[in-house]
Amino acid sequence: MPSGWPERLGVHPPIEAYDALDSTNAEARRRAEAGEGGPVWITAAVQTAGRGRRGRAWSTQRGNLAATLLTTTDRPAAEAAQMSFVAALAACDLADTCLGPGAARLKWPNDVLVHGRKAVGILVESGARPDGRLWLAVGIGVNLAHAPQDVERPATAFADHMAIRPPEPAAALAVLADAFERWRNAWTTQGFPTIAAGWSDRATGLGQRCEARLPNRTVTGVAEGLDSDGALRLRLDDGALERITAGDVFFGGA
């Protein structure tokens, strides 16, 4: 087990809570660049400049969860990126705890959908440390109480599907951090195939036609599943296999 991690499974790293930050990922980056390595969870009741994937804004109102795990790894960057799938599975576990098993599904690479609408966003960032290792900032935003309205894709909040009030962010983070530790331990001890299998069991769109919007082109085909490194295997109309490693995928025109 990497140095610095709790020795007992299920004991998550410490949590530091703030009333407001520009971005929990930005705070993790500042600390990493100052030499800190964690592991520590950083959470804020409000983010004033939250970010999502591909530079998109991510709004955090009071009642929602914004948290980032700052940690370090010996793994190369390509493998360290698999931490996003660990985060997605942990967030799916949180959704199942709040909404019941099966309410949440995963869309490549790491969106968590509740009844077809996005409820969780994940952003993993990294950088080199002087000792040759990588620092990682694993950011997770969960729409517990509120869903943004002015967004590119339909969004929802846990509260929209609960008869009682959604959990407070601190309680949700405790569940999320425990789930993250379980999946991270599986990744560390059993490798990515265990994570890929867990992700595939909860995935939406596998076996369906999809459109992949890549940085420089758009391709369409049938999503076959995850490759050994987490890339999405897309079978194109001409029979060729395309590995999608970065971009956005859309199923059913959504």
For the chain, which residues make up each domain, given as ranges? 15-201, 209-251
At residue 17's C-alpha, the angle toward residues 62 and 91, to 5°, is 70
Give me the residue label for tokens 């951090």.
Answer: 177
Q: Is the dihedral of CA 79, 224, 213, 251 positive or negative?
A: negative
Q: Supply the pLDDT for residue 254.
A: 46
Residue 6 pLDDT grade (very low, low, confident, very high; cuts 50, 70, 90) = very low
pLDDT at 153 over 90: no
Q: What is the model's pTM?
A: 0.89
Per-residue model confidence as pLDDT tens digits over 46-81: 998 766 544 455 566 889 999 999 999 999 998 999
Question: DSSP states of 63-83 as a string?
Answer: TBEEEEEEEEESS-HHHHTTH
For 177-200, b where at least 16 C-beta lie within 10 A, e where not — what string? bbbbbbbbbbbeeeebeebbebbe
Tokens standing for residue 77: 């960057």
Classified as helix, coil or strand, 235 is strand
Per-residue model confidence as pLDDT tens digits over 188-204: 999 999 999 999 999 99
> What is d(CA 163, CA 44) in angstroms, rounded to the nearest whole number?
26
Q: Which CATH number does the domain 15-201 belong to among 3.40.50.2000, 3.30.930.10, 3.30.365.10, 3.20.20.300? A: 3.30.930.10
> What is d(CA 94, CA 133) in angstroms, rounded to the nearest whole number?
30
The secondary element (H helix, E strand) that includes residue 144 is none
> What is d(CA 117, CA 15) in angstroms, rounded to the nearest whole number?
29
Residue 228 pLDDT grade (very low, low, confident, very high; cuts 50, 70, 90) = confident
Classified as helix, coil or strand, 44 is strand
Question: 137 with 25: CB under 8 angstroms?
Answer: yes
Fold topology of 209-251: SH3 type barrels. (2.30.30)
Q: Supply the pLDDT for residue 50.
A: 63
Residue 8 pLDDT grade (very low, low, confident, very high; cuts 50, 70, 90) = very low
